[in-house]
Amino acid sequence: MSYARWFTIYGPSYLNALGWTALTAVLASLGAVVWGCVLLLFRLAGGPWGARGVDAYMQAFRNTPVLLPIYLIYFGFPLIGLPWPAVICGGLALVLQNGAYVSEILRGSFKAIDRVQFDAAKSIGLSPWHTFRKITLPQVLVYSIPSLGNQVVLLLKDTSLLSAITVTELTMQAKLLTEQTGAAYEAFMVVAILYLILVSGTEVLFRVAHRAVRWR
Amino acid sequence: MIEIRGLRKAFGSLAVLRDIDVDIADGEVMALIGRSGCGKTTLLRCINFLEEYDAGEIRLDGQPLWYRPGADSRRRRVPDQEARRMRQQMGIVFQQYNLFPHMTALENVSLGPRFSQKVAAAEAEDLGRSLLARVGLSDKVDAYPAHLSGGQQQRVAIARALAMRPKVLLLDEITSALDPELVGEVEDVIRSLLSEPIMMVLVTHALGFAREVAHRIAYIADGRIAEIGTPAEILEQPSDPTLKDFLRRIR
């Protein structure tokens, strides 16, 4: 079967899967950034134990493959009375893992903030919380845009691992079509192209966002 | 008024302030001069507790600042929240402006009133606009620091300090980082404040400006106030030999 013909027949069946991939990637990315900010706050304001806790958390997630937390949450949560849908379990695993990386990215950007700004913040009586929210966080996030873009791309590609726990995202859809039609090459080529488009789009989005910052 | 008694501060084994006693009267402008590293900036930063100090007392209008005597005769820092409240009575302007780069001029100025003094957003904005107008920057309200000249940034920084309606304005070499042609516009803003009842303490190397605006000049050497007096006394009839030498070098 020609590639074009294959696509006209089975193309539409990818739409739903594309939606799941995009939705999971967007929500998990937002979650990872929020969680990364929380981890940064723990590291900056949590005293020696806060920093140690975040370090231990980092070690745990950096030194294990993503598939592991995905399986642990998907198979483990029902055992503690939380039989959540597969996509939620998988998304949570992505948030927890990528949040760890995001917090390291943010920590790097934090070092780029001129320390004297914190003197200025103190001198106008800002509380530590307002200093974090109004001074630290906005700058850290902006300085991090390029690196966050990379991380979101990694996360986007990792959503394919959710196929291992029955989520019908793109990779799963290709598997299903392979089983249905036996045309593995065509099925996965379409997916490859769709990932390529998604990733390129993400990169453009972050580049535009980075350029749109007027104060730098 | 500000009363400073027996102020001492060391960085490790290096004594920076050895025993500072000085009063600053209401509405007084006091200039601190001296060689680099003599402790004048550290003194300024101790006044609003950006630096902790090892011994001594600072009072503002009779109210003791920063430390309380503890039960065991060792002093304790006041709680952070109280320190923040105390600090709002003082504004400081830094050598390097230290504006928040991600905020417009107006946001820089309104931030303190808005979040430290819980002023309503619209009111804080009005205050910000009027202060920016006062320092001659009505047309730069929405500009980011990166798009302002050094002189303009420093004027925003002065407006930001004034926004807290401080009793004291601490000025730390505020024209040292500026190109010569921009110094005047910043000095003009300080001149315009002289009619206000606000106290000012300025660390400076600009002796001409100190002479013009200050009621008294304190010459600091080796962590002590080596000589203090009116500008005429200090600049024209110095008695301390190191001060004579300092004046010769700087002129």
pLDDT tens for B99-156 read 999 999 999 999 988 888 888 889 889 999 999 998 989 999 999 999 999 899 999 9
Contact A117 B100 (CB under 8 A): yes
Nearest to B22 by CA among B55, B58, B48, B71: B58
**Rounded percentage of chain A residues whose pLDDT exceeds 90:** 67
Contact B115 A122 (CB under 8 A): no
Fold classification of A3-211 (topology level): MetI-like fold (1.10.3720)
Hey, is the C-beta of A45 within 8 angstroms of any chain B C-beta?
Answer: no
Hey, is the C-beta of A116 within 8 angstroms of any chain B C-beta?
Answer: yes
Mean pLDDT to the nearest integer, A70-93: 92
How far apart CA B169 and CA B157 sit, in angstroms, is: 12
Mean pLDDT to the nearest integer, A111-127: 90
Residue type, A48: P
Hey, is the C-beta of B94 within 8 angstroms of any chain A C-beta?
Answer: yes
Nearest CA in chain A to B159: A124
Tens-digit pLDDT profile for residues A157-186: 999 999 999 898 999 999 999 998 888 888
DSSP 8-state secondary structure symbol assigned to residue B69: E
Residue type, A45: A
**Rounded percentage of chain B residues whose pLDDT exceeds 90:** 43
Residue type, B16: V
Q: Which two tokens stand for residue A139?
A: 């700058």
Q: What is the pLDDT of residue A83?
A: 87
Count of CB atoms situated within 10 Å of the CB of B111: 23
Contact B98 A116 (CB under 8 A): yes
In this predicted structure, the answer to whether residue B15 has a pLDDT above a threshold of 90 is: no
Q: Are A67 and A164 in contact (CB under 8 A)?
A: yes
Instruction: Give the pTM.
Output: 0.83
Q: Suggest the residue from B98, B110, B158, B172 to mutate for an interface test with chain A (most A CBs closer than 10 A).
A: B98
Contact B101 A214 (CB under 8 A): no
Find chain A residues with C-beta within 8 A of B110's C-beta: none
Tens-digit pLDDT profile for residues B25-70: 998 999 999 888 788 889 999 999 999 888 889 998 888 889 888 7
User: Could you tell me how many CB contacts below 8 A there are between chain A and chain B?
Assistant: 73
Q: Are A133 and B102 in contact (CB under 8 A)?
A: no
Token look-up 């106008």 returns A124
Q: Are A6 and A188 in contact (CB under 8 A)?
A: no
DSSP 8-state secondary structure symbol assigned to residue A17: H
Find chain A residues with C-beta within 8 A of B91's C-beta: 123-124
DSSP 8-state secondary structure symbol assigned to residue B39: S
Q: Suggest the residue from B65, B100, B107 to mutate for an interface test with chain A (most A CBs closer than 10 A).
A: B100
Whole-angstrom distance between the N-terminal and C-terminal Cα of chain A? Answer: 53
Find chain B residues with C-beta within 8 A of A215's C-beta: 101-103, 144-146
